[in-house]
Structures are given as C-alpha cells and as structure tokens.
Structure 1
Amino acid sequence: MSSDLFSPRIPDDVAKRRPLADRLRPTSLGEVTGQSHLTGEDGALRRMIASGTLGSMIFWGPPGTGKTTVARLLSGETGLAFEQISAIFSGVADLKKVFETARLRRMDGRQTLLFVDEIHRFNRAQQDSFLPVMEDGTVILVGATTENPSFELNAALLSRARVLTFRSHDEESLGELLNRAEQAEAKPLPLDEDARATLLRMADGDGRAVLTLAEEVWRAARAGEVFDTAGLTEIVQRRAPVYDKGQDGHYNLISALHKSVRGSDPDAALYYLARMFDAGEDPLYLGRRLVRMAIEDIGLADPQALVVCNAAKDAYDYLGSPEGELALANACVYLATAPKSNAVYTAFKSAMRAAKENGSLLPPKHILNAPTKLMKQEGYNEGYRYDHDEPDAFSGQNYFPEKMGRQTFYEPVERGFERDIKKRLDWWSKLRRERGEP
C-alpha cells in the first residue's frame, strides 16, 4: 500500500484556496504583528527563549491576536514537541492520552509543549489534572483563553503558570496585515482611503477578521471596481461587535457605563449604552442597572433619579424596541448629569455592619409599646414624648439601644437635594444640644 495514502500531497490549486489568514500565518516570532511586548527583541517571550528554559504560560487576549500561532512558533524555536488540544472537543480520556504520549516522549529525552485552546472551558477537576504533569516537567503547558484567568482558572493552576496578555491589534498592525495580504495576492485591495479605514475599524482589533474581510472584498469586486464606505458596508454586511453577554465583554462595558455615569460624563455614558444596545444586550437588564446607579450613585442628591429610571423601564415595557430604548437613553443622560451622592449607600453599609457587630440589643424602653400591664410595670413606653406635640415637632430623644449610644451613619453631601437635608439635620442636632439630649 502506497505511503502517499497516509500523507497525501495537497494539490497546488487546493492549497491556494486556503483562507488568507492561514496562508499568511507567521513562520517566525519576528513576523508576528501587534505583540511586540511579547515577541519583540526585548519582549517577554524572547527573553524566555534566550534563557534556554520555558515555563508554563497562560496566553490571555481577544480572538485573532495570534495566541495559537505564537504557541506553535515557540515549540519550533525551542525544539519542543508540539501537541494541541481544544477544551471544547476534549475530555478526561483525551487528556490522559496526551499526558501518556508526553511521558513516553520525555523518557526519550524530549519535552512537550502542550497547547490547550479555550482552557477556561475545562472544569475544575480537568484543570487540576494538569498540575502533576506540569510539576514533574512532563509538559510545558501553554493555555489560551479569551476570558479573565483570575475568574476562570483555578488558583492552583495560575500559581504554576505565568499569564501573558495579548493585546488587540491597533490600526497600524492591522494595516500591516493588509499590506502583507496585498503582497500575497499581488493586487491592491479595491477600497478608497475612507473605506480602507472603515474596514480596519470593522475588524475590531482582530487580525484574523481583517484578513477575512479583505477576502470578502476581493471576491465581491469586479474588474476595475473600487468600493467606498457605503459599498464596503453593503458587501460585508458589517461584522458583529466582539461581545459575549455572559463574559468579559459584557462586564467590561457595563462597568464602563456605570463609571461614566458616576463620573458625570453623559457622552461617554451614551456611547457605552449604545454599544450594549448594538451588541444585543437585553434592554431590561440595562434598565435594572440604571435603577441601581440611581440608588447607589445619585441617591438623595436627586430623589427624582429613581423615579425617572423606573419610568424609563415602564416606558420600554410599553413601547418595546426600538422606541423604548430612547427612554432608557433619557434616563442614562439624566443620571450622568444629576448631582452625585453615595451618602445613603455608605450609611447603609455602616448600619449593616453595626447591626451585625452589636447583636440583639433591646431598643430603649421609652420607644417600646406597652400593650400589657406587665410591660407597663417594666417601664415600657415610660417617658416617651410624642414628637408632634413638641416644639418644632421634634423631641430630640435618643432612639438607639442604650448600650450603643447615639450613632451617625448618614452624612449628606453639599450637593443637590441633600444640601437641604443636611441643613435640616444640622438644625435638629442644634435643638438636641439646646435641650440637653444625647
């Protein structure tokens, strides 16, 4: 039986039809673009190679930044055997086979670089299975993840591996990839200057995406045709934003929205709100988060903020999308431009802490009702002063448990409506002092 059956030659015409991103895959670390902090002359990976030893690593970064390619190149530059598995398609049995092969290879004097794509998708037990083979040197693990390793990977695994961050491509490195593509295809990309810049933005920092988009443009172009931005948008139908509603993209954008509101920047807040709408986020989730911001960051500096947010949520329920989204945008701008106070937020946390620390203290007896004769004999309700019968409708009595003494949790700020609240509290404090109350 011919050996060609087991290692068939790929015909030239088939090889040419390979995706552009595959054909332009770098063959050395020096050809890797956009990651000079790792692969440049003074980059972290270059220094590891120069030292003659590699440790286990976690490659963390967005899609299309070269994580898989760099892992392959590392094995080539260090003479390590390369094994690749994906956490999406592999289970415990697959891991055992890979580990056994690596052990046999180690006995022959060669170490294995094991590249695990989407490593965060392995469960805790599967992640723990890597620990023994990492510790005894059977494998050098290189895991790749698009998710924050701090949240997705076991502490034990992270303690044995160095996290290296891959950055999204900027316009310069994406432009370099397009230049390489044009050289490989021996023809320019049929786009005018503005459309070319638009294509770079559509790639959203993803090197693989920019090459895929370029291929779509070449396929669509007729002889001599050059597309403007409108034509480009029509051809590629715009690539969806990189956003996973359950993962990092979701939390990064909601954090940016919240902090923009807190920082009183309505333009930035609207931008992030629009980003999340555009990515398909549930509008009612955004409505709930706006309500949270009204409570936490505006508070009593503008009591209407909570009313406005609840009304916006009701308006969305009534109108639906897309009209109802404008109601949420109104609420977002209202919050960003409202006076800010977290005084009640911090006061509530302090009160909760005091409640837990002081146990089940009995309130002072003078504010307890005495519905029975025994309770009256015990002094319940004795000495209570009805505030509406007092001068200024204020008795100034102490309402805290006697063992605690009077506490101060709420400190209103000198902004918005809380400025008036502060004046009121200061007036009552003055009356207490004048009447000799604690």
Structure 2
Amino acid sequence: MTKRMILNETSWFGRGAINELVPEVMRRGYGKALIVTDAQLVACGVVEKVTSKLDAAGLNYQVFDAVTPNPTIKVVQQGLAAFHQSGANYLIAIGGGSPQDTCKAIGIISANPEFEDVRSLEGMAPTRSPSVPILAIPTTAGTAAEVTVNYVITDEENRRKFVCIDPHDIPLAAFIDADMMDGMPPSLKAATGVDALTHAIEGYITRGAWELTDALHLKAIEIIASSLRDSVAGKAEAVEKMALGQYVAGMGFSNVGLGLVHGMAHPLGAFYNTPHGVANAILLPHVMRYNAEFTGEKYRHIAQAMGLEVTHATLEHAREAAIQSVESLNRDVGIPATLREVGMRKEDIQELAQAAFDDVCTGGNPREAKIEEIAELYLKAL
C-alpha cells in the first residue's frame, strides 16, 4: 500500500523567523497581500509585528480582521469579497486556527470559484487548482493549521462544523516564531497546547497511522508533555518548544487523520461556540479509555513519551498510566473538568452524538463507534 506525505514547501523555525517573511515575498515576486486575521490580534499589536516589516520593505497589503472564533461561512464569504476588492494576489494568515482556516477557504474558493457556496468544500472536495498562495504565521501553539491540508468551517444555519480536506490548501510557506506567541494568555496556551497533544495522540492511534507518522507523533507527544506546563507558566524556552511540538504533530496527523475526540469536539463548537482546544482536552481522557483495548502497545509508547516508566508494567497498567498522565496535565494547566462547565446541555446529547457520528474525523478512530456509545461518552464527560 502506498503512503502520502504533504508538507509546506518552506518552513522557518525559531525566534525571529518572521524576519524571513519579506525575503520570501520578494523571492516569489508577489505583489499585494491580503492579511487575514482577527481584530484582537490587530488591537494587541501582534499584526503590527508583521505589517511593520512589510512597510519597511515597501510591500503593499490590506488587512481583513473580521475573523471570529469557529469561523463561519459568512466570515469566509466576507473575506473572499475583501480579497477580490483588494486586488491582492497572495494571502498572509496571522493567528491561530480560525484565521488560518478562514484564509485557506478564501484561497481555495478564489482559485476554484465553483465552490463559492463554501458548504460544497466539505470532506475531500474535488478542487482542481491550488489555492491562491498563502504564507502562514501562527500565533498559537496548537492547531498546526499552517502545515495541514485540513480546515474547519462552521455552518451556523445548520448548527454544525464541517471539515475540509484538500491538498491544494496547504500554505506554501510557514513561519513558526515563538515571538508571535508570547502574548497568549495562560488559558489559551493551555487550550491550544492540549489541542496539539490531542492531535499527536489521535494521529498516533488513528487507523491510517504508519511508521513515519508514528515517529512524528511520538516526538510531538514528548515535546508537548515536557513543555506545556512551563509554557503556560510563561517560560520563553517552553513557548518555543511548544511551537515546534505542535508543528511536528501537524506534520503527522495532516497526512493520516484523527479520531473520535475531534469528531465529538466539532459539534460542541457548532452548538455552543466551545473553544476547540478546550473541547478536545475535556474529551481526550474519556475517548482514550474507550479506545484503549483497540490500540495494542501504543498507550505504553504514549506513556513513555510523556516521561513515565512503564516498560515492565502490564499493558493494562501502562494504558491507564497514559490516560492518567493526560488527566494530570489537564488539571495542572487549568483545563475545565467537565463539559457542563463549558455550557453543554444534557438535552442536546442525542443530536450531538449524531453530528459526531457523521463527522469525517470519527472514521479514523481505532474503535468503530456507535451513536449510542458516543452519546454515553458525552454523558460521562458532562
């Protein structure tokens, strides 16, 4: 069986990596950029760290800052209109997963206008043309959207989030610069960090996993587990390590898929606007226990990557140690313990379970999940 790996054409790492943005733009001969971001990043001066460099080099740009958390079809269409009005010929995404995902949708639809309804991009859409060129600058250490072929859009009208998977959407260049992430509040560092851990764990146990992605995911688990607490505490070196760890996880899961944690988290975002990383973090231990018997020795490897000595432990003990290590990390970084704390309602469980069952990520889960089992997991996490 053949395997596929798709990664950025170019990625820059380390503090000061955004200094390579202007040389990349000039080397590629781009004209005017539309910067896709959100108003908060503009207000707190993060976007200015980039625009000041463009200004100094005399490069033209326009800013679209209407992106919202869990970006909607309407936001994508507004951004698409802004791109066409601007006369830009490339895109710069500045932000976490929401600006990155919005930017991908804008770029794909601009190059493939037959998908302008946005909804038709769900799943593996048969786009023919590569996205308008995207240069991606993440400001959170979690989603890894800058290196993945995935993006997620919210359909407010139908109260659902849908995943788009398209090799044509991957940014041409990414700039993984911890200087752009230092200003994250601790709660955001925690949520995005456990999101990255979820990517690594789900990518490691998903049905499509293979040797190369296994190596990436285990390394990502090691980096994240050893750095997240210090990153949340504000230690600069740990922030830089988290920036790398989340990217390494993205290199893996983008190419093999995820599982039931993400399948269950997406409806929570659509129903209650729950932050994606928080939803993943709360659900992860519950789904890990549900999957445990279908993962062979992999939980032992996860526990070892998280720094536990389980070489001679029974498999049952090693599996439980891995799960408890995740639970401990959640507690230490301040993740809510239950879904009730983030607004989930018991009366919505059946509808949530159906949406999770239908989610494209759920198909990658190592254990085939039934709707009633998913409903029980939501109830346990409530």
| TM-score bracket, shorter-length normalisation | 0.3 to 0.5
Which protein is bigger by CA-based radius of gyration?
Answer: 1
Higher relative contact order (CA closer than 8 Å, sequence separation 6+): 2
Structure 2 length as normaliser, TM-score?
Answer: 0.34
Which structure's residues are more often strand, by fraction? 2
